[in-house]
Amino acid sequence: MSEEKKSIKGGEFIIKEAKVEDIFIAENWGEEEIMMRDTCYDFLEAEIFPDLERIDKMEEGLMPSKLDKAGALGLLGVSIPEHYGGFGKNFNSSLLINEATGSGHSFAVALSAHTGIGMLPILYYGNDAQKEKYLPDLSSGAKKACYCLTEPGSGSDANSGKTKAVLNTEGTHYILNGQKMWITNGGFADVFIVFAKVDDDANLSAFIVEKEFGGITLNPEEEKMGIKGSSTRQVFFNDVKVPKENFLGEREGGFKIALNILNIGRIKLGAAALGAMKRTTTQAINYANEREQFGLQISKYGAIRYKLAEQAIKNYSLESALYRTGLNIDQATDELLASGMEEAEAKLKGVEEFAAEAAILKVYGSEALDYVVDEGVQVYGGMGYSADAPMDRAYRDSRINRIFEGTNEINRMLIVDMLLKRAMKGKLDLLGPAQAVQKELMSIPDFGDQDDSLLAAEGRYVANFKKAILMAAGAAVQKLMQTLAKEQEILMNISDMIINTYVAESMLLRVKKLISKVGEEEAKLQTAMVQTYIYDVADKINKSGRDAINSFSEGDEQRMMLLGIKRFTKVAPFNVKEARQAIAQKLISENKYVF
């Protein structure tokens, strides 16, 4: 009898050594996916980049017309089943499309809002009649969608919203009243996914609301720091008559819809950030090769080469973690489908399984993009501060991503909270491995014969990073118990350890898989990138661990754990300058991001 294969569970990366064969690497995209990606690139070059100024000036009808053209190419229906006019692609393929359109500035925001939070609630929670009615028009772009959750008094605390829905005496319509704000695509949307409380319910419900129902009014467009071309309005619902057939999902199930759609939005934001990062990195390389100072191209100077190489490492590391998670989601979904689960539910459960990883990618991606655009401005120097150069828009547009889909602070705390809840429900065994680490602290380290093959040391470092997480988190849970949820600084310290470890392992697995495919020589620069990243991140994990431990322990316990953090984050000397020089030289010679 063959043993049934079980896909990896969400959060298990902390307690298990992942296998190279279980991850997807971007070097393995097939012809069809590459063609879809290139279609997106061609669309941006033809339709978006030449009109960035017009888009930012909110020219009437321009953004909807761009979405129409994207719809004609099929870019709005990548995740939608063919039955409803889409392509029915898997989750990882949909991430690739988000990446490929992610450098489209305000257009990327409008596209993501429409195809993600606008359409997916209907796809995943709508009944057959609702899907038949709305998805074909949304997939083609004939109708545009938006998502109405945030209110003036409810941001991160979404369930505190005050928008109300009351069933009329005839029992035919819900009468909707309330106010929503920061609604992307609000100015031109035809379909609104609206969250409201029915009567005196404690929790939100969801509704599909059409503009044609009447009673919807809009405030003027918000003036924003960045993404100026995306429509952002306050929306008012004044006695809007919503047919009872447009109730979405279960009563009081709106908060669950919101959370699950946000999980998808978080990882897709990471994908869009990657697309923006790649373009910004290429622009920085181009400028460094063009600009001369003191008789030399500035790309010949070490300080600039450091920046270019570090931008490349950020790109490569995010991409590694992104498509690793995308494959995990697809594997979990396929397993659920094979068990007989209905398709929409299986896809939702697949993403929900990796909600912590989605939050990791949202935080890491948005902060990596901020780094890349900031250094992009610096490479451009004075021109970087000019509105005539591309870094001005890239810098301003980037900043919203640390707030979108839940602030990075909220997401950091969610990462730890979700993993601990999985442990308490018996879905993730953190206790056993944490206790094993505590025993290891009391033992003499084993310095026996060790594998000295390429990247073997980095594998040991990542394994030790996981021990550092288990030690710090386990002790914090044991010491603080129920009050840990209020210790936000400690939660964020532990979360940073988790984020850096997940990305480091993802990058390591990718490079190992690449080496098996092309050989050590062909992958030497990717090897240099992962070695540099792990060397640097060891210090960050050390600092986060020490800060957490010093916050809740003292005496012998504290000294023991600090020694443990030192042991678990120790790495051998490595010449990062030489590695970055080699990476930068490749970028400079190719005059673009090439990895």
pLDDT, tens digit, 9 for 90 and up, residues 388-412? 999 999 999 999 999 999 999 999 9
Residue 107 has pLDDT above 50, yes or no: yes
Average pLDDT score over residue span 325-331 = 96
Using pLDDT thresholds of 50, 70 and 90, give the confidence band for residue 155: low
CA distance 34 to 26: 10
User: What would the DSSP string read from start to end of 288-348?
Assistant: HHH-EETTEEGGGSHHHHHHHHHHHHHHHHHHHHHHHHHHHHHHHHHHHHHTT--HHHHHH
Residue 27 has pLDDT above 50, yes or no: yes
Residue 199 has pLDDT above 60, yes or no: yes
Identify residue 496 by its one-letter amino acid code: D
Share above pLDDT 90 across residues of the chain, in percent, rounded to a whole number: 92
Average pLDDT score over residue span 171-175 = 97
Grouping H, G, I as helix, E, B as strand and the rest as coil, residue 242 is: strand
Share above pLDDT 70 across residues of the chain, in percent, rounded to a whole number: 98
Average pLDDT score over residue span 492-505 = 98
The confidence score (pLDDT) of residue 5 equals 53
Average pLDDT score over residue span 279-301 = 96
Residue 133 has pLDDT above 90, yes or no: yes
Residue 132 has pLDDT above 60, yes or no: yes
CA distance 285 to 376: 9
How many other CB atoms sit within 10 Å of the CB of residue 374? Answer: 16
How many other CB atoms sit within 10 Å of the CB of residue 102? Answer: 28
User: How high does pLDDT run on average in the chain?
Assistant: 95
Average pLDDT score over residue span 87-113 = 96
Two tokens, residue 222 = 């918000």
Average pLDDT score over residue span 249-259 = 92
Using pLDDT thresholds of 50, 70 and 90, give the confidence band for residue 1: very low
Using pLDDT thresholds of 50, 70 and 90, give the confidence band for residue 2: very low
Length of the chain: 595
The confidence score (pLDDT) of residue 451 equals 84
Residues annotated as part of the active site: 405
Average pLDDT score over residue span 128-141 = 97
Q: Which residues contact 188 (CB under 8 A, 6 or more apart)?
A: 63, 64, 144, 231
Two tokens, residue 581 = 């020089």
Using pLDDT thresholds of 50, 70 and 90, give the confidence band for residue 452: confident
Q: Measured in whole angstroms, how far is the alpha carbon of residue 270 from the centre of its chain?
A: 3
Average pLDDT score over residue span 377-384 = 97
The confidence score (pLDDT) of residue 445 equals 72
The confidence score (pLDDT) of residue 153 equals 82
CA distance 132 to 123: 10
Q: Measured in whole angstroms, how far is the alpha carbon of residue 521 from the centre of its chain?
A: 32
- Is the distance from CB of 105 to CB of 397 less than 8 angstroms? yes
The confidence score (pLDDT) of residue 7 equals 78
Residue 129: its H or E element: helix 128-140
Using pLDDT thresholds of 50, 70 and 90, give the confidence band for residue 268: very high
For residue 418, give Cα distances in angstroms to 237, 422, 424, 461, 491. 34, 6, 10, 25, 12
Radius of gyration of the chain (CA): 25
Domains along the sequence of the chain with CATH: 255-410 (1.20.140.10), 430-590 (1.20.140.10)
DSSP character at residue 427: S
The confidence score (pLDDT) of residue 156 equals 65
For residue 151, give Cα distances in angstroms to 163, 196, 261, 269. 8, 11, 18, 22
User: Whole-model pTM above 0.85?
Assistant: yes
User: What would the DSSP string read from start to end of 494-512?
Assistant: HHHHHHHHHHHHHHHHHHH
